[in-house]
Amino acid sequence: MRRFLFHTSLFLIVLLASFFVVFSIADGTTDAFYKKLSSPKQTSLIVGSSRAAQGIHPNIIDSIYGSNNIYNYSFTISASPYGKAYYESISKKLNSKCKNGVFIIAVTPWSLSENKFNNKNSMGYPEDHDFIGKTNFVNLKPNIEYLLESFIPKNEAIIRNKYRKGLYQTFYVQDNGWLEVTIESDMISKTIRTKNKIESYRNMLSNYNGFSEYRWNYLIKTINLFKEQGDVYLVRIPVIEEMLEIENELIPNFDERIDLLAKHHQSPYINMMLYNHAYDYTDGNHLTVNSGKKFSLDLAYQMKKLKHVSN
């Protein structure tokens, strides 16, 4: 028996060590989320959906606004709409000791809406069962919990994706949480992507009930959480006109609601949708890398201006 236990344990130790080595390789190439869930606690955050993940460059905000290592902790519309799961994840990511942080909360009608079929049922909201709700440890590296429980591709993708960086249609999460997406920029591909995106969001619209009290309350909780630790900015990231029309159908008085909320919490609302013609989009919904830089620059200047006004 001793011999069996010794040999088995030895074999298992070598095997587990190999698993650990593979997990240790995981980084910003692994998928669009891993890096964000394996970075240390942060003092300043950008939260929101994929528009914010791709569109807001933390280094530009830092350099213009003067924030100190703001971190992009935005995910996707399905994983990180405002709600209990995202709120708890944000709370875990936040270094509560710091009191002079900067927080950008990206708002969109989608992240404040109820899905007709998937929302609250006896099992909770869909994101409660997604990685954002399932990952208890968001500051571990390697984040074995995430890789075991929520990483969808096979583990070999951890190794394979490392060599795909920079190739056709890939993603890379930078150290500051910004999601860099490499995508074809020719006009034909862009037109097709935009058409498909509008179509899919149009279809999505029929599955949504519109404004959600639940999500709204969690947005307020998120604002309150951030207010305790620094300056908070509510931001609407631009999209093309057709996408805006769909969003206006989803929550018709969205800007008025956010305006009122911002005033109530004495946090500025920067509605960049008003300048949507000034930017270029990969699919009508996400800013291109260059437009993201321009947008981040414009946003940082707006934030700086507002900060001076308030001071």
Partner 1 sequence: MLFNSLDFAVFLPIVFVLYWFVVNKELKYQNLLIVVASYVFYGWWDWRFLILILFSTLVDYAVGMALSKQQNYSNRKILLWISIIINLGFLGFFKYYNFFVDNFVQAFSFFGREIQPNTLNIILPVGISFYTFQTLSYTIDVYKRKLEPTRNFISFAAFVSFFPQLVAGPIERASNLLPQFYVKRHFIYQKAVDGLRQILWGLFKKVVIADNCANVANAIFEGYESYSASTLLLGAVFFAFQIYGDFSGYSDIAIGTSRLFGFDLKQNFAFPYFSRDMAEFWRRWHISLSTWFRDYLYIPLGGSRGTKRNQIRNVFIIFIVSGFWHGANWTFIIWGGLNAVYFIPLLLLNKNRVNTDVVAEHRLLPSVKELLQMGLTFSLTVIAWVFFRAESVSMALHFLYRTANSSLFTIPQIRPTDLLIFLLIFITIEWAGRRDFYAIERLWFKYPKPIRLFVYYTIAMMIFLYGGRTQEFIYFQF
Please provide the size of the chain in residues.
Answer: 311
Residue among 8, 96, 100, 224 that touches partner 1 (CB under 8 A): 8
The verdict on 152 binding partner 1 (CB under 8 A) reads yes
Region from 11-19, 31-39, 62-70, 260-268 binding partner 1, contact rule CB under 8 A: 11-19
The piece of 12-20, 24-32, 242-250, 295-303 that touches partner 1 (CB under 8 A) is 12-20
Report if residue 6 touches partner 1, rule: CB under 8 A.
no
For residue 97, state whether it binds partner 1 (rule: CB under 8 A).
no
Is 63 a residue that touches partner 1 (CB under 8 A)?
A: no
> Of 11, 117, 137, 275, which one interacts with partner 1 (CB under 8 A)?
11
Locate tokens 């213009």: which residue?
64
13 is an interface residue for partner 1 by CB under 8 A: no
CB of residue 122 to partner 1, shortest distance in Å: 15
Judged by CB under 8 A, the residue of 154, 163, 168, 277 near partner 1 is: 154
Q: At residue 299, what is the residue type?
A: L
Residues 250/119, Cβ–Cβ less than 8 Å: no
Smallest gap from Cβ 160 to partner 1, in A, equals 10
* Secondary structure (3-state) at 215: helix
Strand pairing class (71-72; 45-47): parallel
Instruction: Give me the least distance between CB of 157 and partner 1, in Å please.
Output: 9
Q: Closest distance between partner 1 and the C-beta of residue 22, in Å?
A: 7
Do 238 and 271 form a contact (C-beta atoms < 8 A)?
A: no
Query: Is 274 near partner 1 (CB under 8 A)?
Result: no
Alpha-carbon dihedral 217, 221, 227, 232, rounded to 10 degrees: -50
Angle at 133 between CA 107 and CA 141, to 5 degrees: 100
156 binds partner 1 (CB under 8 A): yes
Tell me the CA distances in angstroms from 124 to 83, 84, 219, 261, 284, one per residue in order. Answer: 11, 10, 18, 26, 31
Applying CB under 8 A, among 115, 118, 155, 170 the residue interacting with partner 1 is 155
- Residue number with CB closer to partner 1 (156 or 213): 156
- Given a contact cutoff of 8 angstroms between Cβ atoms, the answer to whether 178 and 71 are in contact is no
- In this complex, which beta carbon is closest to partner 1, that of residue 5 or of residue 309? 5
DSSP-H helix ranges across 31-77: 50-55, 58-65
Is 3 or 99 the residue whose CB approaches partner 1 more closely? 3
> How many Cα atoms sit within 13 Å of 119 on the Cβ side?
20
Residues ≥6 apart with Cβ < 8 Å to 201: 243, 246, 285
Interface with partner 1, residue 164, by CB under 8 A = no
Distance in angstroms (rounded) separating the CA atoms of residues 50 and 176: 15
Under the criterion CB under 8 A, does residue 18 sit at the interface with partner 1?
Answer: yes
Binding-site ranges for partner 1 (CB under 8 A): 1, 3-4, 7-8, 11, 14-15, 18-19, 22, 148, 152, 154-156, 159
